[in-house]
């Protein structure tokens, strides 16, 4: 018996991202669950794998995010039962505390096969419950983008009512950060190069808008909007090309959550500005299973739903990535399996 899947080719490229079939994984063993996957969602990390920017084994099944229904459970499984809607974790072996040294080698869709397939059998701790009232596509947005934003604002830097937060763009992490920040009572400043997307961010609750094509020195504009003090936290998804403006935007003693590399993997940093402002610039990569469960509780308490602009079928995964690369989306792109 076989199931549908998508694998990368050699060399990895969108043209070599091809539908295929693989062996059904069968019944779960002790401590395992069998999950009928119904959805995934696209992240920049996934794009980097399938386009060859991040080296991965030829024939890798991509996609770090997966959500679906538990079909069967093995002996000694205590957290799930058949019929439960569950969502994957980005680091299957990072349960709580600091990440183990091996965590980054076991990311689904990168170090190991991911969720671009119909069925998986995994240890039960590789998944968590999904938020009540969510469908599979909504749940699949949480694994990477949702948890990254949650950790940036509420784990590594505890924002609170009255805090100020700067978000960049309108991708999945940024919109989750906007939603979490507003739920916490924070003021949000949003940047984008698109007037239409800025209006959509305003509709979601953004308090101040900056078009960075019109205001290239947007760090100074942020200072102006905050009365000269700067924001408490920047959710930095651009990388090397935007970091200096982010640091300019941040208050003395503030926090820059360094998440993305959209404007480059490396570049000069104004260390004098970093020191003068006593900034905390912290790189982060998603989070732990315990943090994911805390995020889900926060989502349920505040009635937060993800923003999904597009749906693609699994067989059309390459087209989904082309849509992502064209920057036509707003929020998340879902893959229906």
**Mean pLDDT in each 10-residue stretch from start to end of the chain (337 residues)?**
95 94 98 98 96 91 98 98 98 93 90 97 98 98 98 94 97 97 98 96 98 96 97 91 93 93 65 86 94 98 98 98 94 98
| Residue 119: closest CA among 20, 24, 17 | 24
d(CA 117, CA 177): 29
**CB-neighbour burial class of residue 312 (10 A; exposed 0-12, middle 13-18, buried 19+):** buried
- CATH domain 157-283 topology: Rossmann fold (3.40.50)
What's residue 267's pLDDT?
Answer: 67
Note the Cα 154 to chain centre separation in Å.
15
Q: Which helix (H) or strand (E) holds 225?
A: helix 218-225
pLDDT the model gives residue 188: 98
Instruction: Give 219-243 pLDDT, tens digit per residue.
Output: 999 999 999 999 999 999 987 788 9
Q: Domain coordinates of the chain in residue numbers?
A: 2-144+287-336, 157-283
What pLDDT does residue 65 have?
98
Q: Which pLDDT belongs to residue 132? A: 98
Q: Which pLDDT score is estimated for 264?
A: 57
Whether 63 contacts 109, CB under 8 Å: yes
Residue-level pLDDT at 23: 98
Instruction: State residue 84's pLDDT score.
Output: 98
The secondary structure of the chain in percent helix, strand, coil, rounded to multiples of 5, reads: 30, 25, 40
CA 311, CA 289: separation in Å to the nearest integer?
26
Q: Side-chain half-sphere of 304: how many Cα atoms within 13 Å?
A: 27
- Sequence-distant (6+) residues with CB within 8 A of 252 are 230, 277, 278
- Would you state the pLDDT for residue 238? 85
Q: What confidence score (pLDDT) does residue 262 get?
A: 57
For residues 148 and 286, the answer to whether their CB atoms sit within 8 Å is: yes
Query: Residue 304's closest CA among 333, 267, 331, 276?
Result: 331
Query: Domain 2-144+287-336 class?
Result: alpha beta
The predicted model scores a pTM of 0.95
């Amino acid at each position: 018996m076989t199931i549908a899947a998508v694998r990368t080719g050699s060399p990895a490229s969108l043209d070599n991202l091809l539908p295929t079939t693989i062996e059904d994984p069968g019944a779960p063993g002790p401590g395992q669950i069998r999950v009928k996957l119904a959805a995934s969602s696209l992240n920049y990390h996934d794009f980097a794998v399938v386009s060859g920017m991040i080296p991965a084994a030829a024939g890798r099944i991509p996609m770090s995010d997966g959500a679906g229904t538990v079909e069967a459970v093995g002996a000694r499984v205590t957290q799930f039962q058949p019929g439960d809607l569950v969502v994957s974790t980005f680091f299957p072996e990072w349960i709580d505390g600091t990440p183990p040294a091996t965590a980054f080698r076991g990311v689904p869709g990168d170090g190991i096969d991911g969720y671009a397939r119909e069925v998986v059998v995994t240890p039960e701790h590789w998944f968590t419950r999904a938020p009540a009232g969510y469908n599979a596509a909504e749940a699949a947005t949480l694994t990477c983008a949702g948890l990254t934003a949650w950790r940036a604002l509420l784990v590594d830097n505890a924002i609170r009512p009255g805090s100020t937060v700067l978000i960049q763009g309108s991708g999945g992490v940024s919109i989750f950060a906007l939603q979490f920040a507003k739920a916490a009572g924070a003021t949000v400043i949003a940047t984008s190069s698109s007037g239409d997307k800025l209006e959509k961010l305003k509709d979601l609750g953004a308090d101040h808008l900056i078009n960075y094509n019109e205001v290239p020195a947007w760090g100074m504009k942020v200072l102006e909007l905050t009365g000269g003090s700067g924001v408490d936290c920047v959710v930095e998804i651009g990388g090397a090309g935007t970091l200096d403006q982010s640091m300019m935007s941040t208050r003395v003693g503030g926090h820059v959550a360094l998440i993305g590399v959209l404007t480059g993997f490396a570049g000069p940093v104004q260390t004098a500005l970093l020191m003068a402002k006593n900034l905390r610039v912290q790189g982060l990569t998603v989070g732990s299973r315990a943090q994911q469960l805390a995020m889900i509780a926060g989502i349920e308490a505040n009635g937060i739903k993800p923003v999904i602009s597009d749906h693609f079928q699994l067989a059309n995964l390459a087209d989904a990535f082309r849509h992502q690369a064209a920057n036509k989306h707003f929020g998340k792109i879902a893959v229906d399996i």
